[in-house]
A and B are shown apart, each in its own frame.
Chain A
Amino acid sequence: MARRAAIVLCCMLALAALVLIYNNDPQETAWAPKCPVWLLTGRYCPSCGMHRFVYHLLHGDVLTAVRSNYMAAPMLLYGLLVCVAGVWPLSRVGSWSSRTLCTRPAIYTFLFLYFAWGVLRNVWL
Protein backbone atom coordinates (compact mmCIF):
# COMPACT_ATOMS: atom_id res chain seq x y z
CA MET A 1 0.00 0.00 0.00
CA ALA A 2 3.05 2.24 0.41
CA ARG A 3 3.30 2.13 -3.37
CA ARG A 4 -0.29 3.32 -3.80
CA ALA A 5 0.25 6.08 -1.23
CA ALA A 6 3.37 7.22 -3.12
CA ILE A 7 1.45 7.35 -6.42
CA VAL A 8 -1.39 9.35 -4.85
CA LEU A 9 1.12 11.71 -3.19
CA CYS A 10 2.96 12.31 -6.48
CA CYS A 11 -0.32 13.00 -8.30
CA MET A 12 -1.37 15.48 -5.60
CA LEU A 13 2.01 17.25 -5.73
CA ALA A 14 1.77 17.47 -9.52
CA LEU A 15 -1.76 18.86 -9.25
CA ALA A 16 -0.64 21.41 -6.64
CA ALA A 17 2.19 22.48 -8.96
CA LEU A 18 -0.26 22.89 -11.85
CA VAL A 19 -2.60 25.03 -9.71
CA LEU A 20 0.34 27.16 -8.61
CA ILE A 21 1.51 27.61 -12.21
CA TYR A 22 -2.02 28.37 -13.42
CA ASN A 23 -2.49 31.16 -10.91
CA ASN A 24 0.85 32.92 -11.44
CA ASP A 25 2.03 34.29 -14.77
CA PRO A 26 5.76 33.42 -14.90
CA GLN A 27 6.53 36.71 -16.67
CA GLU A 28 4.65 38.81 -14.10
CA THR A 29 5.60 37.41 -10.72
CA ALA A 30 8.97 37.66 -9.00
CA TRP A 31 8.34 34.17 -7.64
CA ALA A 32 8.86 32.61 -11.03
CA PRO A 33 12.15 30.68 -11.03
CA LYS A 34 14.72 31.37 -13.74
CA CYS A 35 16.97 28.84 -15.43
CA PRO A 36 20.60 28.91 -14.17
CA VAL A 37 21.89 28.47 -17.72
CA TRP A 38 19.94 31.50 -18.90
CA LEU A 39 21.06 33.55 -15.88
CA LEU A 40 24.73 32.74 -16.41
CA THR A 41 25.02 32.75 -20.20
CA GLY A 42 21.90 34.47 -21.50
CA ARG A 43 21.27 31.46 -23.69
CA TYR A 44 18.37 29.04 -23.55
CA CYS A 45 18.87 25.51 -22.27
CA PRO A 46 16.71 22.77 -23.86
CA SER A 47 14.23 22.92 -20.97
CA CYS A 48 13.93 26.72 -20.88
CA GLY A 49 10.37 27.86 -21.43
CA MET A 50 8.80 24.75 -19.94
CA HIS A 51 7.21 26.79 -17.16
CA ARG A 52 5.77 29.29 -19.64
CA PHE A 53 4.63 26.41 -21.86
CA VAL A 54 2.58 24.88 -19.04
CA TYR A 55 1.20 28.26 -17.98
CA HIS A 56 -0.03 29.22 -21.46
CA LEU A 57 -1.33 25.72 -22.17
CA LEU A 58 -3.39 25.76 -18.96
CA HIS A 59 -4.86 29.08 -20.09
CA GLY A 60 -5.76 27.62 -23.49
CA ASP A 61 -3.22 29.70 -25.42
CA VAL A 62 -1.68 26.87 -27.42
CA LEU A 63 0.21 29.06 -29.89
CA THR A 64 2.05 31.09 -27.23
CA ALA A 65 2.66 27.88 -25.30
CA VAL A 66 4.34 26.16 -28.25
CA ARG A 67 6.41 29.27 -29.01
CA SER A 68 7.78 29.21 -25.44
CA ASN A 69 9.50 25.92 -26.14
CA TYR A 70 8.81 24.08 -29.40
CA MET A 71 9.96 20.76 -27.99
CA ALA A 72 8.12 21.03 -24.65
CA ALA A 73 5.09 19.04 -25.80
CA PRO A 74 7.00 16.04 -27.23
CA MET A 75 9.42 16.02 -24.29
CA LEU A 76 6.66 16.12 -21.68
CA LEU A 77 4.69 13.48 -23.58
CA TYR A 78 7.73 11.21 -23.67
CA GLY A 79 8.28 11.78 -19.94
CA LEU A 80 4.65 11.00 -19.19
CA LEU A 81 4.63 7.78 -21.24
CA VAL A 82 7.88 6.62 -19.64
CA CYS A 83 6.37 7.31 -16.21
CA VAL A 84 3.29 5.25 -17.13
CA ALA A 85 5.64 2.42 -18.18
CA GLY A 86 7.40 2.62 -14.83
CA VAL A 87 4.30 2.82 -12.66
CA TRP A 88 1.79 0.67 -14.56
CA PRO A 89 3.90 -1.61 -16.80
CA LEU A 90 0.94 -3.93 -17.42
CA SER A 91 -1.52 -1.34 -18.65
CA ARG A 92 -2.05 -1.11 -22.41
CA VAL A 93 -0.16 2.19 -22.70
CA GLY A 94 2.47 1.20 -20.15
CA SER A 95 3.44 -2.08 -21.76
CA TRP A 96 3.59 -0.48 -25.21
CA SER A 97 5.74 2.33 -23.84
CA SER A 98 7.96 -0.12 -22.01
CA ARG A 99 8.60 -2.14 -25.18
CA THR A 100 9.18 0.81 -27.48
CA LEU A 101 10.08 4.04 -25.66
CA CYS A 102 12.10 2.45 -22.85
CA THR A 103 14.55 0.65 -25.12
CA ARG A 104 18.13 1.81 -25.38
CA PRO A 105 17.87 3.22 -28.94
CA ALA A 106 14.76 5.20 -27.96
CA ILE A 107 16.40 6.61 -24.83
CA TYR A 108 19.53 7.69 -26.68
CA THR A 109 17.42 9.20 -29.46
CA PHE A 110 15.57 11.22 -26.84
CA LEU A 111 18.84 12.30 -25.24
CA PHE A 112 20.26 13.33 -28.63
CA LEU A 113 17.13 15.24 -29.66
CA TYR A 114 17.09 17.01 -26.30
CA PHE A 115 20.55 18.51 -26.77
CA ALA A 116 20.14 18.98 -30.51
CA TRP A 117 17.13 21.14 -29.68
CA GLY A 118 19.23 23.05 -27.16
CA VAL A 119 21.77 23.90 -29.87
CA LEU A 120 19.19 24.53 -32.57
CA ARG A 121 17.12 27.03 -30.57
CA ASN A 122 20.19 29.13 -29.83
CA VAL A 123 21.67 29.01 -33.33
CA TRP A 124 18.69 29.42 -35.64
CA LEU A 125 15.77 30.68 -33.59
Chain B
Amino acid sequence: MYYYVDANGLQQGPVSLDQLMQCGIKPQTLVWKAGMAQWEPAEKVPEVNNYLATQAPIGGQTVAQPASAAAAEQCPPDNIAWGVIGLLFCWPFGIPAIISAARVRGLWAQGHHDKARECSANAKSKGLTSLILGIVFLVLYTFILIAASL
Protein backbone atom coordinates (compact mmCIF):
# COMPACT_ATOMS: atom_id res chain seq x y z
CA MET B 1 0.00 0.00 0.00
CA TYR B 2 1.26 3.45 -0.97
CA TYR B 3 0.72 6.94 0.38
CA TYR B 4 1.39 10.10 -1.58
CA VAL B 5 1.18 13.87 -1.24
CA ASP B 6 -1.35 15.54 -3.51
CA ALA B 7 -1.06 18.92 -5.23
CA ASN B 8 -2.54 20.62 -2.15
CA GLY B 9 0.10 19.16 0.14
CA LEU B 10 -2.33 16.72 1.76
CA GLN B 11 -1.44 13.13 2.48
CA GLN B 12 -3.49 10.63 0.50
CA GLY B 13 -3.77 6.86 0.65
CA PRO B 14 -3.48 4.05 1.26
CA VAL B 15 -3.73 3.03 -2.40
CA SER B 16 -2.37 0.10 -4.36
CA LEU B 17 0.35 0.64 -6.97
CA ASP B 18 -2.25 0.50 -9.73
CA GLN B 19 -4.46 3.08 -8.01
CA LEU B 20 -1.41 5.24 -7.36
CA MET B 21 -0.86 5.46 -11.09
CA GLN B 22 -4.42 6.69 -11.56
CA CYS B 23 -3.77 9.63 -9.24
CA GLY B 24 -1.71 11.69 -11.66
CA ILE B 25 1.52 11.53 -9.69
CA LYS B 26 4.64 13.16 -11.13
CA PRO B 27 8.33 12.22 -10.71
CA GLN B 28 8.58 14.78 -7.90
CA THR B 29 5.43 13.66 -6.06
CA LEU B 30 6.32 12.50 -2.53
CA VAL B 31 5.53 8.84 -2.00
CA TRP B 32 5.74 6.55 1.02
CA LYS B 33 5.13 2.86 1.66
CA ALA B 34 5.71 0.61 4.68
CA GLY B 35 9.43 -0.04 5.11
CA MET B 36 10.58 3.33 3.80
CA ALA B 37 12.33 5.58 6.33
CA GLN B 38 10.79 8.77 4.94
CA TRP B 39 8.91 10.34 2.05
CA GLU B 40 10.74 10.11 -1.27
CA PRO B 41 10.03 11.61 -4.69
CA ALA B 42 8.25 9.05 -6.89
CA GLU B 43 11.28 8.82 -9.19
CA LYS B 44 13.39 7.50 -6.27
CA VAL B 45 11.03 4.59 -5.66
CA PRO B 46 12.06 1.92 -8.19
CA GLU B 47 8.73 0.28 -9.04
CA VAL B 48 6.94 3.63 -9.21
CA ASN B 49 9.69 5.12 -11.35
CA ASN B 50 9.52 2.15 -13.72
CA TYR B 51 5.90 2.84 -14.30
CA LEU B 52 6.46 6.58 -14.69
CA ALA B 53 9.18 5.86 -17.28
CA THR B 54 6.72 3.90 -19.42
CA GLN B 55 4.34 6.86 -19.27
CA ALA B 56 6.96 9.45 -20.24
CA PRO B 57 6.06 11.78 -23.08
CA ILE B 58 7.17 10.33 -26.43
CA GLY B 59 8.98 12.62 -28.86
CA GLY B 60 8.38 15.63 -26.67
CA GLN B 61 4.61 15.30 -26.95
CA THR B 62 2.55 15.01 -23.85
CA VAL B 63 0.54 11.84 -23.82
CA ALA B 64 -3.09 12.55 -23.08
CA GLN B 65 -3.90 10.81 -19.82
CA PRO B 66 -7.48 9.82 -19.14
CA ALA B 67 -6.51 9.61 -15.46
CA SER B 68 -6.13 13.37 -15.18
CA ALA B 69 -9.80 13.76 -14.35
CA ALA B 70 -9.36 11.38 -11.43
CA ALA B 71 -6.26 13.29 -10.34
CA ALA B 72 -8.33 16.37 -9.65
CA GLU B 73 -10.40 14.38 -7.16
CA GLN B 74 -8.68 14.12 -3.80
CA CYS B 75 -9.88 12.46 -0.67
CA PRO B 76 -11.22 15.18 1.65
CA PRO B 77 -9.54 15.63 5.04
CA ASP B 78 -10.99 13.14 7.54
CA ASN B 79 -11.19 15.81 10.30
CA ILE B 80 -10.59 13.27 13.04
CA ALA B 81 -9.01 15.97 15.19
CA TRP B 82 -12.35 17.79 15.27
CA GLY B 83 -14.09 14.61 16.33
CA VAL B 84 -11.66 13.92 19.17
CA ILE B 85 -11.69 17.53 20.41
CA GLY B 86 -15.49 17.50 20.25
CA LEU B 87 -15.63 14.24 22.21
CA LEU B 88 -13.29 15.44 24.96
CA PHE B 89 -15.16 18.72 25.41
CA CYS B 90 -18.75 17.62 25.04
CA TRP B 91 -19.13 13.91 24.29
CA PRO B 92 -22.89 13.79 23.47
CA PHE B 93 -22.16 15.89 20.40
CA GLY B 94 -18.68 14.55 19.83
CA ILE B 95 -19.87 10.99 19.09
CA PRO B 96 -21.52 11.77 15.71
CA ALA B 97 -18.51 13.93 14.79
CA ILE B 98 -15.99 11.18 15.44
CA ILE B 99 -18.11 8.55 13.69
CA SER B 100 -18.42 10.78 10.62
CA ALA B 101 -14.66 11.29 10.65
CA ALA B 102 -14.02 7.56 10.90
CA ARG B 103 -16.12 6.89 7.78
CA VAL B 104 -14.42 9.38 5.43
CA ARG B 105 -11.50 7.28 4.18
CA GLY B 106 -13.50 4.09 3.80
CA LEU B 107 -16.26 5.79 1.82
CA TRP B 108 -13.67 7.46 -0.41
CA ALA B 109 -11.87 4.16 -1.03
CA GLN B 110 -15.19 2.54 -2.01
CA GLY B 111 -15.84 5.31 -4.52
CA HIS B 112 -18.61 7.08 -2.62
CA HIS B 113 -16.93 10.45 -3.09
CA ASP B 114 -19.94 12.65 -2.36
CA LYS B 115 -20.67 10.76 0.85
CA ALA B 116 -17.02 11.01 1.87
CA ARG B 117 -17.07 14.78 1.38
CA GLU B 118 -20.32 14.99 3.32
CA CYS B 119 -18.85 13.01 6.22
CA SER B 120 -15.72 15.16 6.17
CA ALA B 121 -17.78 18.35 6.38
CA ASN B 122 -20.04 16.78 9.04
CA ALA B 123 -17.09 15.75 11.20
CA LYS B 124 -15.75 19.28 11.14
CA SER B 125 -19.04 21.08 11.79
CA LYS B 126 -20.21 18.69 14.51
CA GLY B 127 -16.80 18.71 16.19
CA LEU B 128 -16.76 22.50 16.14
CA THR B 129 -20.34 22.61 17.44
CA SER B 130 -19.54 20.40 20.42
CA LEU B 131 -16.41 22.43 21.21
CA ILE B 132 -18.44 25.66 21.14
CA LEU B 133 -21.35 24.14 23.09
CA GLY B 134 -18.91 22.85 25.69
CA ILE B 135 -17.31 26.26 26.12
CA VAL B 136 -20.64 28.15 26.03
CA PHE B 137 -22.11 25.90 28.69
CA LEU B 138 -19.07 26.24 30.91
CA VAL B 139 -19.06 30.04 30.61
CA LEU B 140 -22.83 30.30 31.12
CA TYR B 141 -22.75 28.05 34.14
CA THR B 142 -19.92 30.03 35.65
CA PHE B 143 -21.81 33.30 35.20
CA ILE B 144 -24.91 31.84 36.81
CA LEU B 145 -22.84 30.64 39.76
CA ILE B 146 -21.19 34.01 40.17
CA ALA B 147 -24.54 35.79 39.85
CA ALA B 148 -26.10 33.49 42.44
CA SER B 149 -23.35 34.25 44.93
CA LEU B 150 -23.80 38.01 44.66
A interface residues with partner B (beta carbon < 8 Å): 30-34, 36, 39, 45-47, 50, 75-76, 78-79, 82-83, 85-87, 89-90, 92, 94-95, 98-99, 102-104, 107-108, 110-111, 114
Contact A104 B105 (CB under 8 A): yes
| Interface CB pairs A-B, < 8 A, 9 | A30-B149, A31-B146, A82-B81, A86-B79, A90-B5, A90-B30, A92-B38, A102-B78, A110-B84
Shortest Cβ gap from B90 to chain A (Å): 9
| Proximity string of chain B (91-127) to chain A, C-beta cutoff 8 Å, 1 when within and 0 when not | 1000100110111011000000000000000000000
How many residue pairs link A and B with beta carbons under 8 A? The number is 82
Task: Name the prevailing secondary structure of the A interface residues.
Answer: helix
Residue tally, chain B, CB below 8 Å to A: 39
CA A26 to CA B10, docked complex, whole Å: 40
**Interface presence of B88 (CB below 8 A):** yes
CA A30 to CA B137, docked complex, whole Å: 15
Closest to B139 in A: A33
